[in-house]
Structure 1
């Protein structure tokens, strides 16, 4: 069964480990799809902006300046190095007008788009007998809204040629190449906003799968634990009943002898055996019945339990276990508030457990504090492993070595102790190390 659980856990881990990257892959592809769609929309909108005439007035300004410069250059009035200086003075005013055009476009404003136009090449044919002169080559700003210099993508490119003939020649004809760029400041934010539903669903789905696996494994482990407890309980109760039933069987057979061979002493001994074993079986049945019914513990008969009452219970236990040294330090006037029957059952269970698990010395102490009292039972027995300390108060649980229980019982004693202490709004704790004994501390509030 444990192997199946390990296989199930390994399978769940592998499944989640495979599911997560698959989900990530689909999400990444969706992101790329949304980004591509947004890019296409923006490019189309920028193209519409360039072709619907909104930028014609702006473009006509720098074109006129360029045309005039080319004429002056052809006549030798200016040098090519002065072109960039001549155009730079226009960029600020033209950029302001472009900004207004971008802001008035709802789609571009939504994506927080920047739009920039650069001159990348300018040439003029000054003399028809010579190759064209390069006035400018590089990246010179005409106008734009990218004031923060964020990375840009290329939008489009256009070439303006002025082939006006002068004296039936191409002298003075020029060519200017411009390139437009754009950027989206909140690109990732907008794409992720569109994907928010998918992202939330994917995360919730992954969490749901993990929780489902966790609950399934937890339930399987709990079912295994219950099955083990039931099997263990059946084995324990079968073992516990074998002894009294066997003794009663022998006693009954002795009584069934009709040859008159039984003496009065033998007859009385047989009856005594039957009586003791009957009481033992009744006690076992009572423990099982009380545990199964889980009846509420009545605390209305609680009274003051003095250190003298505690001493009497411990002394009675010592009489039946002469091999164990029981010690009681000075308890002063300390007292508990509990039903005498309940405190007797609690102490007998704890003392009997100490005897079962190898104790030769038991120390019982009662201390009185300002708002509570503590009863401590310490022994030098075999101790309790840390992994068992959290389970010893569970119903039917018994500490074992391997698959073999070293002491008799049904695993109900400490469960009853815990339930009884809880009924009085108290707590019980245990400190123990294997081979160094155990110490149980019961803390009860004062009335």
Structure 2
């Protein structure tokens, strides 16, 4: 004996509890993927930042070495100016020892020396000559000025942190964006009142390379491109994976809806067949021909209904390129009128109107499949609350246009693109009479495509829907 599948078993994959568990797993997987993407992107950005810092340090080292070789001292730039500077320092020192100058006077005299502009120009030209690919601004600032006498302690006339206000030479206006290249310590020896003394000075050179950030970025071009491609690849794979998960979840939901719908559709004829069979077991029914024939007719109708349900599922499992059409030349307006007349008999309470702006249009069509397709659209309009339906025909850009407009409840914008998906059914409105298999509009789309035509829908919620079918003339 075969095991029966209980759709209401909590362990069955289509049970609501199992569906909820599956949705939770998908949501958990999406959340984990988002976290993983963020972590990987963060790591990638950290690696790029580390590489950037390394390139900056490497660049600074290169600049320091090159500039240090160019300006190790000032004598190779202009020995005359260097001699003048040493003479100035010696004169200021001896005046200080005589008490003629204060410490403030010495500082001001050094900072405002007369050869500052000329030495700045000479150093700048040397940078331009030796480093033509770099645009460099610089500043040389005085840090220390200390006198040493044999018989006394060191006399610190000047000792400060590097400040731009203590600039001796250069064109930098600030040290904020500059970096230290080298410190230069100079000594001057002299004799005052038969006593030897020594002068120690220390100055620092700071440089700023114009657009050094762009130089670093150019050096990192390859790394940045690889990092960007890696991040884009991760994001692309993530989006593809999420779309696949969402699509899988949607397919699962659609299959669940389909099973629920077909179960509902099958229950009614099966229940009727079961009741009819039990009635036939009664002797008085079998002996009454009228009642017997009525029950037999009921069984026959329900059997046909079951067969139609099975045929509908089988027919709609085909793609448009697998449908075999039996085409023939027909007068399209008469063909549509025959469908309208049959529909009025089935639904006499529906106000079905026609507005044909074409006459005697001959098309090569499959009457059987297109009849079913048009009836599916009309019955769908009735299911969703339509009381008035208008069928219009016209010629649009060498195509025969058939529009079916209703005054039903309409369809939300975000659901219109799903209307022609297999097994999809609009859930809005919560109307009891909208039971079905979700195959009607899918079948319409497949049949129209098999005729090399197209179908589109325009709808506003609460204002009705218009389906437009275009066929080749």
Contact 1:366 1:374 in 2 (8 A): yes
1:202-281 equivalence runs, <5 A: 202-252=227-277, 261-281=286-306
Greater shift in the superposed pair: 413-422 or 273-282: 273-282
Superposed CA offset, 1:33-87 (max 9, x none): 3323332343344444455x9x653253322343566789989xxxx97983356
CA spacing shift, 1:419–1:48, aligned 2, 3 Å = same
Contact 1:305 1:340 in 2 (8 A): no
- Which residue among 31, 34, 38 is the counterpart of 2:55? 34
Indicate the residue corresponding to 2:217 in structure 1: 192
Greater shift in the superposed pair: 249-258 or 409-418: 249-258
Secondary structure of 2:256's partner?
helix
Whether 2:417 is the aligned partner of 1:398: answer no
Q: Measure, in 1, the Cα distance between the counterparts of 2:449 and 2:263.
A: 30
CA spacing shift, 1:25–1:284, aligned 2, 3 Å = same
1:22-421 equivalence runs, <5 A: 23-50=44-71, 56-67=75-86, 84-86=113-115, 88-89=117-118, 91-93=120-122, 95-97=124-126, 99-102=128-131, 117=140, 138-141=166-169, 152-165=178-191, 168-170=194-196, 177-252=202-277, 261-294=286-319, 296=321, 297-298=323-324, 301-329=327-355, 331-333=357-359, 335=361, 337=363, 338-400=365-427, 406-421=433-448
Q: Measure, in 2, the Cα distance between the counterparts of 1:240 and 1:435.
A: 28
Secondary structure of 1:378's partner?
strand
With structure 2 as the length reference, what TM-score do the two structures score? 0.73
Greater shift in the superposed pair: 93-102 or 183-192: 93-102
1:201 Cα deviation from its structure 2 partner: 4.4
Q: Measure, in 2, the Cα distance between the counterparts of 1:378 and 1:8.
A: 44
**Structure 1 runs not aligned, ≥5 long:** 104-108
Superposed CA offset, 1:116-146 (max 9, x none): 6567788999xx9xx9999xx94332xx698
Q: Measure, in 2, the Cα distance between the counterparts of 1:132 and 1:435.
A: 92
Indicate the residue corresponding to 2:13 in structure 1: none
CA spacing shift, 1:132–1:331, aligned 2, 3 Å = closer
Indicate the residue corresponding to 1:106 in structure 2: none
1:153 Cα deviation from its structure 2 partner: 2.7
Superposed CA offset, 1:176-205 (max 9, x none): 654323222342223334444544444444
Aligned length: 427
1:375 Cα deviation from its structure 2 partner: 1.3
Q: Measure, in 2, the Cα distance between the counterparts of 1:240 and 1:165.
A: 119
1:223 Cα deviation from its structure 2 partner: 1.9
Q: Measure, in 2, the Cα distance between the counterparts of 1:290 and 1:12.
A: 40
1:314 Cα deviation from its structure 2 partner: 0.6
With structure 1 as the length reference, what TM-score do the two structures score? 0.76
1:333 Cα deviation from its structure 2 partner: 0.9
Contact 1:334 1:368 in 2 (8 A): no
Secondary structure of 2:76's partner?
helix
RMSD between aligned alpha carbons?
Answer: 4.3
**Structure 2 runs not aligned, ≥5 long:** 1-19, 96-105, 159-164
Greater shift in the superposed pair: 215-224 or 327-336: 327-336
Secondary structure of 1:293's partner?
coil
CA spacing shift, 1:113–1:315, aligned 2, 3 Å = same
